[in-house]
Chains A and B, each alone.
Chain A
């Protein structure tokens, strides 16, 4: 679009573009800052979107851009697809969607680096460091692309959520990553030899598959955060290739954000990142290895019985898990809670950091059901309160309340911080059956003296409870 500008403007154009990139960067930083608080978060997201718009519009004036056909087609097609996906997606499917967007972002960065390489007629004009950044950009971008789509498949159930692995897979993965890094060196040394290029691309795509496939469904929140970080780093690397500071800074911001969230998730599960990536831990709960030994008796409760218990309680804590979301029962939980509140019962929600399938997923689902966010308590906030709680309703959650994490050093979840529901006067577990949870471990809480089981589909059970409350 630069041809429409007068000559005077053209002389300052390159600097003006850079200055406006700086403005766009400021919008991103300010936007992320405002995302720190629920009151300002929406404005933060809008500021970041404005920053993006500035970045795109300014770039259209870049002297290098001479034809607009592909740009117009690409933007229209992308906007339609992205817009429809964003409007149609159910809140329960948010992790899948973020995985898909991540994959497209990473893929785009790899394509940019590849395109930059391909549009240069004489590749020997690249210096070594540029070629290394092209190689890294393609490597990280391509592995983010396939890795994200495998994560999507696992979350969606197209691919088994179980850890699919075989002995030596980790060694093969690490080995091929090192091999790609060495190949990037060769590629930088001799860019005319396209064999190096194709092997880097091919192996990077494969590593995305083989490094996510062995990770169990329970660890998907960590994987999504990590891939999010990768997509940022891939954008940053593309920035190195193009010498574009806007890309470098924005990519680095996202890379850092993803790493922090990854770390938070790991801490919440008491596992190291290496353990998540190489541990092949956990299934998707499809395997039902429930231990039903004779000495393990459970006490059952009914809707009417439970309605009386909670209606006359002074404090009730609801512990929601992903099972609640799958059953689409958030709204009915909110109704039950409102009835209790009308009776003067104090109701709070105890949300474990890894409840749901991505960081903070459960909070979004409850917000969708109009639960005020100040009633949603983090693990650290709610744990001291269980002592004074009369009834805890555990709906569709299992591993996050499993006391084995404190008592059994041999358990795979040993050391994972949990919600201390066993300190409450009474716990009630809403569950279909005694099947094991996502991590594939039996839960002694079910057989505890103070616990009652409310068997059945979470939504139907809650509806029955809601009805029964009318008659109390």
Chain B
């Protein structure tokens, strides 16, 4: 089995897990869900770290640097703002 096919297996199975996980989320949580999922898509930072930190030409390093900045904005901003939103939901629960 080639690496591509192996990766494709993982990709398709993960899509199914994603559908199962998300399909029952109540409308109240759609916005936090979207911004939280958005933060997770910043996982591409892992690739950015490898590109920026490995040996390679100047161009690839600068591309890696830009990728790290972009992905970090996505990750840090995404998780923080989701937490800010969910904190508001949380507060009401404590009141009761």
Q: Which residues of A contact B (CB under 8 A)?
A: 28-29, 31-33, 35-39, 41-42, 44-46, 48-49, 51-52, 55-56, 59-60, 62, 64-68, 70-71, 73-75, 77-79, 81-83, 85-87, 89, 91, 94, 97-98, 101-102, 104-105, 107-109, 111-112, 114-116, 118-121, 129, 133, 224-225, 228, 231-232, 234-236, 238-261, 264, 351, 353, 358-361, 363-364, 367-368, 370-373, 376, 378
Contacts and interface: CB of A to CB of B under 8 A. Distances in A.
Contacts of A371: 92
Given A247-B43, A247-B44, A254-B40, A129 B4 contact: yes
A434 B70 CA distance: 44
Contacts of A116: 47, 51, 60
A42 B73 contact: no
A363 B27 CA distance: 8
B45 to A, nearest CB: 6
B18 A78 contact: no
Contact of A115 (B45, B67, B75, B86): B67
A235 B34 contact: no
Given A74-B69, A101-B74, A86 B55 contact: no
B44 A105 contact: yes
B53 A71 contact: yes
A91 B52 CA distance: 34
Interface in B55-96: 55-57, 59-61, 63-93, 95-96
A59 B53 CA distance: 10
Interface of B: 2-4, 7, 10-12, 14-19, 21-57, 59-61, 63-93, 95-96
B7 A66 contact: no
B22 A240 contact: no
Given A86-B84, A108-B70, A255 B53 contact: no
A253 B64 contact: no
Question: Does more than half of chain A's interface fall in helix, strand or loop, or is it mixed?
Answer: helix
A112 B27 contact: no
What 6 A-B pairs have minimum CB-CB distances, sorted nearest first?
Answer: A78-B72, A256-B18, A119-B56, A360-B30, A74-B68, A82-B77
Given A78-B76, A119-B54, A367 B88 contact: yes
B41 to A, nearest CB: 4
B39 A48 contact: yes
Given A41-B86, A98-B34, 13 more contacts: A42-B87, A74-B67, A75-B72, A82-B75, A94-B81, A112-B48, A112-B63, A228-B38, A231-B38, A231-B41, A238-B47, A253-B18, A257-B37
B69 A41 contact: no
Contacts of A249: 10-11, 14
B30 A78 contact: no
Contact of B28 (A38, A49, A121): A38
Q: Which of B12, B29, B70, B96 has the most CB of A within 10 A?
A: B70
Contact of B50 (A65, A358, A363, A370): A65
Contacts of B90: 42
Contacts of B74: 82, 101-102, 104-105, 108
Contacts of B2: 129
Contact of B54 (A49, A65, A259): A65
Contact of B32 (A35, A65, A81): A35
11 contacts: A32-B40, A45-B36, A46-B83, A118-B63, A119-B61, A129-B2, A239-B47, A248-B11, A261-B34, A264-B30, A373-B92
A66 B3 CA distance: 26
B53 A65 contact: yes
B92 A370 contact: yes
A232 B59 CA distance: 25
